[in-house]
Structure 1
Amino acid sequence: MSETDLSLVLTAHNETLVCGPTMESADLAVAAAREAGFTVQTVVALDKATEATKEWFHQPDFDHWERWEMGEGDLGRVRNAIVPRLSGRNVAFLDADDLFSENWLSRGLQLMAAAEERGERVIAHPEVIITFDGAVGLHQNVAQDDPLFTPHFLYMRNAYDSLCLTPREGHLQVPYVHRDIPNGLSWQDWQFGVQTMARGWKHVLVPDTIIFKRRRDFSLMVESAGRKSLLRSLPEMAIDRIRDLARPGSDQ
């Protein structure tokens, strides 16, 4: 088993100066995790990145990060390609223009370690997601075992964002699907949430943690919503099976 507790992957495509706060946020969160006794691998995944993006991330200030060039051009495919190469038992992702609260990784890893000792398979999410820039909003996540959670909610919208903290095993067991926005199919994190629940993974919250998501005028989420993209048809969402998603530990 790997001796590294966490691999943090920051994915960049066509971002430069806007990543300054992102990198500072990530470094602070990594420092807090290391101070708490965890080991962390840090990787910048330059996925079909522009030359300006590559140049920006190769500045000496970021020499403490590994830089891996990828050619996938898709959130799901780049994650599937990069996860087997990582050394961490757990994996966290960060988009190049988003931000972590400083305690997200340290508290998340503490929760993951406690769950592992109890023999639980969990995927951790921040308590709150705050959107900023192009749109401002606050989303309160709901844990899978919260009385307010119902799997029938998943017929209407995604329950959990893709910026979660997941055991590497979870990503290997449930790879991301590729998006097909022109044909109206997207929402890779939505499908990942459904399929991990169906395979016995429990989605939990890390108290007092926040992820800040920049909402730009044009993004994958904006494009998907504009094209009225749908979740793929999944057996786990059948009307006589969806209730079982609320039962952590039962593999469908």
Structure 2
Amino acid sequence: MTTDLTLIVTAHDETAVCGPTMRSADLAVAEARARGYVVQPIIALDAATEATSDYFHQPRFDHWERRIMNQGDLGRVRNALLPDTDGRYIAFLDADDLFSENWLAEGVAALDTATEGGEKVIVHPELNVQFDGAKVVLVNVDQDSPLFTPHFLYLRNYYDSLCMAPREAHLEVPYVHRDIPNGLSFQDWQFAIETMTHGWRHVVVPDTIIFKRRRDFSLVVESSSRKSIVRRLPEMAIDRVRDLARPRAYR
């Protein structure tokens, strides 16, 4: 039987806040399965604290596969896990965030449509609702939207690290490692740029939501406080950046 989707929840130092996260994940998995999709759910315990490991080894999570990692880096965890997954598509969720019940089912449907049309597509939720340490609602835009300009990528990333993509996208464009002390971070930002370079189009799935918890201290907060940037990339040169909006620009 073909596995349509692998969902990976990554956990490091979270405990009680994971309850709503896992509830939202289970509901989304159930919705996807009700639509006929085969889903492989994985919990990745990466350099997890003892309390986090104990939390996720409760019997209530025995229907999830567990992977013990010691990468200490978001990008390296994703790269290392990929060969040990079965799904045609890969989706991620941080252990303190949530997503809407329809996200997985609608994301798979959108990717299936794109794949059948021969398109290289990565999908994102339409809304990014930030809560706890911040109260912000961000609206994502399609790469084909008139509101999209690749020049904006000089300032910030259009898309959150939560995405759903064919496994080929991650094989073609592995995540780089984080180097916050030297001011290099935002792996998802670089992933977005490099996938565009390789002809992957970023698409928003209507009526889907991610809920991002903003804590007082997190990798995003640390990266921002250190004025971290993305690495120097050839495709961001002033005479080439415009081509990021053109599908398969460098193929």
Matches of 2:208 and 2:137, distance apart in 1: 13
* 1:249 Cα offset (Å): 2.5
* Counterpart for residue 214 of structure 2: 215
Describe the SS at the equivalent of 2:4.
strand
Identity of aligned residues (%): 68
State the Cα deviation string for residues 81-139 of structure 1 (Å, max 9, x = none). Answer: 00111100100000000001000000111111011110001000000000000111011
Q: Does 1:246 align with 2:245?
A: yes
CA distance, structure 1, for counterparts of residue 155 and residue 242 of structure 2: 15
Deviations 1:168-209 (A, max 9, x none): 110011000011000100010000000000000000000000
**Map 1:1-150 → 2, pairs under 5 A:** 3-150=2-149
**SS in structure 2 opposite 1:4?**
coil
Q: Spell out structure 1 runs of 4+ moving beyond 6 A.
A: none
- 2:163 is the alignment partner of 1:164: yes
What CA distance in whole angstroms lies between the structure 2 residues aligned with 1:40 and 1:248?
Answer: 30
1:237 aligns with 2:236: yes
CA distance in 1, matches of 2:82, 2:234: 26
What 5-or-longer segments of structure 2 have no aligned partner? none
- The runs of 5 or more residues in structure 1 that have no matched partner are none
**C-alpha contact (below 8 Å) 1:181/1:224 kept by paired residues:** yes
TM-score, normalised to structure 1, is 0.98
Give SS of 2:88's match.
Answer: strand
- What amino acid sits opposite 1:192 in the alignment? F
- State the TM-score, normalized to the length of structure 2: 0.99
